[in-house]
Amino acid sequence: MMAAPKQRSEYLDLRRRFETPNVTLVIVAESPPVSGLYFYNPDGRVSEPLFAALMKQLGIRPGTKLEGLVEFQKQGWALVDATYEPVNGLTGRGRDLAIDRDYPELRDDLRQLLTVRWRTAPLVLIKANVCRLVEPKLKADGFNVVNNGRSIPFPSHSWSREFDRLFREIAPPFEQ
């Protein structure tokens, strides 16, 4: 049986444990999954698709999810969801409506997370629908979205190689 979805505040509480005041890169994903797995849950598995793909980008192989989250934090990376309503169980239109509805919360969340750097810190968007719906709005609101119309697929199943290639092409270089 699947656990009841968390409230937005519960997801944000998990994320805030691993935030840094010196954010160097923000990755905007779609939403936490219906499965209850969540990127910032340190009790999860290092094999979760998005977590594993981002650890690969950082060039690390953590033994636990907690180790990986601490390293993610040290690098100054942050992952934010376009909506905190798990939408992967919805139709395309339902997903789009939830993302559109929650855009003001995303915008405000990013401004708070990035403080004075909100206009300059690079944002990388993941998934075609997030790029299509959110990139124009973020750019109009003054954010530094670096996708420039290119979408990065979610790194599950057969998309992990494409995710890896496009993420490296789109994201700014960083020190390891």
Only one residue has tokens 């420039």, namely 148
**Domains annotated on the chain, with CATH:** 8-170 (3.40.470.10)
pLDDT of residue 3: 54
Regions of the chain with pLDDT less than 70: 1-5, 174-176
Residue 95, CB half-sphere, CA atoms under 13 Å: how many?
23
Residues sharing a CB contact under 8 Å with residue 141, sequence separation 6 or more, in sequence order: 107
pLDDT of residue 1: 42
What angle separates helix 49-58 from helix 65-74, to the nearest 10 degrees?
50
Q: Token pair of 53, please? A: 């793909």
What distances in angstroms separate CA 47 from CA 26, 54, 56, 58, 71, one per listed residue? 21, 11, 11, 15, 16
What distances in angstroms separate CA 62 from CA 20, 49, 68, 89, one per listed residue? 19, 14, 5, 30
pLDDT of residue 32: 93
CA distance 100 to 140: 15
